[in-house]
Amino acid sequence: MLAHRLAEHVVGHYAGIAPRRRAPAGRLHRVLLDRVADVVEARLGDPLTVDDLAAAAALSPFHFARAFKASTGLAPHEYVTSRRMERAKSLLLTSRLSVPEVAYAVGLSNVSHFRRMFRRHTGFLPSDLRPREDRRIGLPAPAQAL
């Protein structure tokens, strides 16, 4: 290892060739983190496993999970859940989808579980993000005045 570093230094310093930048030991390179984040964003509504994310990084699930946590401070499952809750918050604030529709849109089929997770992550129930008029069954939201 020391010989490799010495060779990199000599080549970089005397030949003017910059060495490749590597991620610190035990961590994922930024390119791999971006690739995994892209997979998560594209598939938030689908079931995602550590195997799926590890495949995007071309690592074994064990090494991926360890390196991902070392790189981000979050386990892969925590990261996916966090992204799902952020997407759910955005959908609740910007769309007319019902709470069950939002839960399904972010990959959660159990609405009760979705509500518990949403409250744990945001401090609010999903219905708390809706205007009062939208919460009454059968009454349309008031029209916007021009």
Domain that holds residue 41: 25-127
Considering the domain boundaries, does residue 100 fall inside one?
Answer: yes
Number of folded domains that form the chain: 1
Give per-residue pLDDT as tens, 58-95: 999 999 999 999 999 999 999 999 999 999 999 999 99
Q: Provide the pLDDT for residue 130.
A: 76
Q: In this structure, what CATH number is given to the domain that contains residue 110?
A: 1.10.10.60
Rounded CA separation 64/48 (Å): 14
Q: Are 56 and 36 in contact (CB under 8 A)?
A: yes
In a domain, 63, yes or no: yes
Q: Is 85 part of a structural domain of the chain?
A: yes
Separation CA 91–CA 130 (nearest Å): 11
Q: Within a domain: residue 12?
A: no
Q: Does a structural domain hold residue 144? A: no
pLDDT in tens, 88-128: 999 999 999 999 999 999 999 999 999 999 999 999 999 88
* pLDDT of 73: 92
Question: Nearest CA to 75 among 66, 85, 84, 62?
Answer: 66
Would you state the pLDDT for residue 1? 58
